[in-house]
Amino acid sequence: MKILANDGLSKSGIDALEKGGFEVLDVKVAQNQLENYINDNSIDAILVGTATQVQQELMDNCPSLKLIGLCGVNMENIDVDYAIDNGLYVINAPKAASSSVAELVFSHLFGMVRFLHSSNREMPLEGDSRFAALQKAYAQGTELRGKTLGIIGFDKTGQEVAKIAIGLGMTVLATDNQVQNASITLEFFNNQKMVFAIDTIPLDGVLKEADFISLHTSEQEDYILTAKEFDKMKDGVGIINTAKGGILHEVDLVKAIEEGKVQYAGLDVYETQPTPAVQLLMNPEISLTPNIGASTLEAQERTGLELAKQIIELLR
């Protein structure tokens, strides 16, 4: 059987598939040539990232396809329901990138509370001429220790975020419609462990008490945070979204920043991805990354191995 890794696959994933008897074609085929390539090469499974679209027309015109795999979390580029209705397997490895996403959350948080997202723009331009002024401008940073982090969506990634927050000495409040409680285990370098039990609470409690709020709910068809929710938050709150574009109302966010309700925000995903709104890109209070939450070498290795394991189980 042939596997097309159209947006790449880790070497460990390729090795596992080849050891399992599959032929892996690790090539990048342009979207407008994808249908012909799949049919010409009798491709049985296609693995994609977020760059390749796998929609109804492609599935209809490529009868050899049996499986679609996503090297990521959000399946917005795949017509999942249509694939399943037509007997195709659709797989991903959502837990493989949890640690990577959690660390990106804190990359934004650490940067924002010390204004790194702004000073990294200003220092190259004016660091040699206005050093003292910039030093004064960025001297009002705060610490994360002792602050309260609200986590909306307490799945594996939300729990990984909680681990880091607890390690920093933060208070953690979490809300989730499906998860009532979770045991958070911190593992240390000397093999010691500590377990913390966290019970989730209603959303309003998180909104009212949190100094920072991180979004980790992806299975939503509507906004989670709009002007209504911002009004319930503390003044000067910080917002992080590494989950999914379209669950945070970006126009309302910008307005909340302008009014001082939100002091800063960190965004890795966007409503109009891959062309984020200019008002976000140019806002000095927003820390920006281009959807890289799952994009670490370690996460890619784990994802490749997990996808390979599922493919072998389903198709061999």
Are 181 and 201 in contact by the 8 Å Cβ rule? The answer is no
Single out the residue of 243, 247, 71, 100 nearest to residue 160, CA to CA: 100
Q: Are 48 and 7 in contact, with CB atoms under 8 Å apart?
A: yes
Check residue 72 and give its pLDDT. Answer: 76
Do 121 and 180 reside in the same domain of the chain?
Answer: yes
Residues 35 and 106 in one domain: no
Q: Does 231 lie in the same domain as 217?
A: yes
> Residue 312 has what pLDDT?
96
Whole-number pLDDT of residue 221: 75
Mean pLDDT in residue range 152-160: 95
Looking at residue 219, what is its pLDDT?
A: 67
DSSP 133-170: HHHHHT-----STT-EEEEE--SHHHHHHHHHHHHTT-
Residue 294 has pLDDT above 90, yes or no: no
Do 53 and 111 belong together in one domain? Answer: no
| Structure tokens that stand for 185 in this block | 């285990």
How far is 212 from 162, CA to CA, in rounded Å? 12
DSSP reduced 3-state for 171: strand
- If asked whether residues 73 and 168 sit together in one domain, one would say no
Question: In the structure, what pLDDT confidence band is assigned to residue 274 with cuts at 50, 70 and 90?
Answer: confident
Percent of the chain with pLDDT over 90: 90
178 near 156, Cβ under 8 Å? Answer: no
Domain check: are 148 and 265 in the same one? yes
**Amino acid code (one letter) for 243:** A
Are residues 38 and 103 part of one domain?
no
Q: Say yes or no: 309 and 179 in one domain.
A: no
Is residue 200 located within the same domain as residue 235?
yes
Residue 239: burial class (beta carbons within 10 Å; 0-12, 13-18, 19+)? buried
Cα distances from 231 to residues 8, 116, 253, 277, 290, in angstroms, run: 43, 27, 11, 23, 28
Q: pLDDT value at position 95?
A: 86
Question: What is the average pLDDT across 50-72?
Answer: 93
Same domain as 138, residue 21: no
Beta bridge partners of 25: 4
233 & 158 share domain: yes
Average pLDDT in the chain: 94
Q: What residue numbers bound the domain in which 306 lies? A: 2-93+297-315
Q: What is the CATH number of the domain that holds 137?
A: 3.40.50.720
Q: What is the pLDDT of residues 198-252, one digit of tens each?
A: 999 999 999 999 999 999 987 677 899 999 999 999 999 999 999 999 999 999 9
pLDDT for 275: 94
Q: Is the pLDDT of residue 74 over 80?
A: no
* Residues 64, 186 share a domain: no
Give the pTM.
Answer: 0.88
What value does the mean pLDDT take over residues 268-284?
94
pLDDT at position 44? 96
Q: In sequence order, what are the beta bridge partners of 262?
A: 237
Mean pLDDT of 140-150: 97
Looking at residue 71, its pLDDT comes to 86
Instruction: Tell me how far apart the alpha carbons of residues 95 and 252 are, in angstroms, rounded to a whole number.
Output: 31
| Across 109-127, average pLDDT | 94
| One-letter amino acid for residue 270 of the chain | Y
Count the domains in the chain.
Answer: 2
pLDDT band of residue 106 (cuts 50, 70, 90) is: very high
